[in-house]
Amino acid sequence: MITRIHVIGLGLGHPDHLTHAAIAALNGVDVFLLAEEGEGAGDRGAAQRALCAELLSESHAHRFVEVTDQRGEPDSETSSAAYDRGKAALGARVEASVDALGQAGPREETLGLLVWGDPALASATLGLAAGLAAHFHADVEVAPGLGAPQLLAAAHRISLGSNGADVRLMSAQHLVDSYDPTMGDAVVVDDDRLRCLELADLFPDLTLYWGAHLGTADEVLVAGRFADVVDEVRAARSRAAEAREWVVDAYLLRPPAAGKPAAPSWPTVDSLSDGVLTLRPMTTADWDLLLAENNNDEAMKWGFTADPMTEPEARQAAARAVRDWRSGRAARFTMVDGSSGVRAGMISVLRMGPPEVALIGYGVLPEFRGRGLTVRALELLVDWVFATTSIARLELGHKLDNVASGVVASRAGFVREGVLAGRLKNPDGSFADEVSYARLRPGPLAGSAT
């Protein structure tokens, strides 16, 4: 009866990619489940058996069971429907694996799942392990091997991350839509369609470190300025496919100057106060304030969508506030009522558009409206921005019928500049005109405060 499940990392197919812990776990397995699917499945299965033949002790009896694993490409959606599809697919994989295993022998207590050094395959295998553990009431142990990102860095003699820059592991499927050089080093594993090459025209000066069959005799490597190595990468991947049906490639995109951010971080500040209102930087604990401010009737009326903010969305937005501050993208403050110490709303300043221009947005809870707190918040924020940054122009806007917001802007010294036709979406799908306001840095606009 199966009582233990070992998930064993194989690296990318070379015995040297297995740790001592992985080899020890390999030799403790009674029955191996080889779950393979798609292009190159036979090649991968043969590689797994070859590794086992080289590393397994002849004194320990074991058997192999093969099962067809139809995972397919991951969903690009993050909806509940996509989640339900994924859950159903996992259930089918577990059921197919149990059927393939059949009745375990009396001495078959340890099941082995072998996983390559591809994060996507590792995630799928760990999911299968959890499902099988629930079925068999078994414990799961993981013995890691070397992963493709580590093998890529070693092959090119570089580090993951340069001079303390961030490193982000990204999906090839979402790379084109979500990549930004300010992320730092981006690492992608198994980009069979070479989607990365779609970015070459946008970011020609990135450095690309690419490799396939890493750490093996068939290893293929390319490195250089992104725009200059596009054709070389295509040819190299073709050579890799000729060497083996199964290709796992990996690459690192490194921006110039180790991903120097496009804007400086916002200055550190504990709080801003005029004695009546205090502004403090937003934290992850303010998610409930975000939820309340975005979902009240007034906010929904002037918002862009009829869908209320969910708790997970509020938590994610609050968590991003700290990162946005460090990256220089946005400084988000929580308004705190001085007399009660209760949080009253929020106000943010975002760098966007032309250089040294920033956009302000704000919202106050219904019970604090009509007390002039938003005007105070705007005045505190504007004074801080002009005193501590080089920003020269602050902008804000509101829908044409939102007269109260215009009164707040005017009282805080913002000058109405005009109306932008049909610029802001309404919850019903129509579009409203936007009234635009601005405040300029006092005195000469040239120069920088810090």
Judged against a pLDDT cut of 90, whether residue 258 lies above it is answered with no
- 314-354 pLDDT, tens per residue? 998 998 898 789 888 999 999 999 999 999 999 999 998 88
The DSSP 8-state label assigned to residue 73 in this structure reads S
The answer on pLDDT for 372 being more than 80 is yes
Mean pLDDT is lowest, of 56-65, 169-178, 353-362, for: 56-65
Distance of alpha carbon 269 from alpha carbon 98, whole angstroms = 58
CA–centroid distance for 362 within its chain: 27
Per-residue confidence (pLDDT) for residue 69, from 0 to 100: 60
Terminal CA-CA length for the chain = 69
Helices 311-327, 287-295: crossing angle, 10 deg rounding? 120
User: What's the pLDDT band for 85 if we cut at 50, 70, 90?
Assistant: low
pLDDT attached to residue 344: 96
pLDDT above 70: percentage of residues in the chain: 89
Mapping DSSP to helix (H, G, I), strand (E, B) and coil, where does residue 192 land? coil
Question: Which ranges in 337-396 belong to alpha helices (H)?
Answer: 373-388
- In whole angstroms, give the CA distance from residue 360 to residue 377: 11
- 74: pLDDT confidence band, cut at 50, 70 and 90? very low
What is the phi/psi pair of residue 168, to 5°? Answer: -125, 125
Residue 116: its pLDDT value, please? 80
Tell me the domains of the chain and their CATH numbers. Answer: 4-146 (3.40.1010.10), 149-258 (3.30.950.10), 272-440 (3.40.630.30)
Q: Which residue has the tokens 């304030």?
A: 289
CA diameter of the chain: 86
Residue 183 · residue 326 · CB < 8 Å: no
Q: Give the strand order in the sheet containing 167-170.
A: 167-170, 185-189, 249-254, 207-212, 220-225
User: Of 427, 444, 424, 428, which is closest to residue 359 (Cα–Cα)?
Assistant: 424
Residue 440 clears pLDDT 90, i.e. is over it: yes
d(CA 17, CA 116): 10
State mean pLDDT over 381-405.
Answer: 95
* pLDDT at 72 exceeding the cut of 50: no
**E strands in 312-447:** 330-337, 343-351, 357-364, 393-399, 415-425, 431-440
pLDDT band at 259 (very low <50, low <70, confident <90, very high): very low
Given a contact cutoff of 8 angstroms between Cβ atoms, the answer to whether 253 and 225 are in contact is no
Give the up-direction half-sphere exposure of residue 35: CA atoms within 13 A in the CB hemisphere: 31
Give me the pLDDT at residue 42, please. Answer: 54
Tens digit of each residue's pLDDT (9 = 90 or more) over 220-248: 999 999 999 999 999 999 999 888 877 88
Q: 342 or 88: which carries more pLDDT confidence?
A: 342
- The 8-class DSSP code of residue 268 comes to P
The winner for highest mean pLDDT among 64-68, 259-263, 381-385, 399-403 is 381-385
Pair type for strands 393-399 and 357-364: parallel
Burial 300-309 (b: 16+ CB within 10 A, else e): eebbeeeeeb
Contact in structure between 354 and 366 (CB atoms under 8 Å): no
pLDDT digits (tens, 9 = 90+) for 143-201: 988 888 999 999 999 998 877 678 889 988 888 878 888 788 999 998 988 999 989 98
Which of 35-44, 260-269, 300-309 has the least mean pLDDT? Answer: 35-44
Q: pLDDT band at 446, cuts 50/70/90?
A: very low
Q: List, for residues 401-439, the tens digit of each pLDDT value.
A: 999 999 999 999 999 999 999 999 999 999 999 999 999
Looking at residue 14, its pLDDT comes to 84
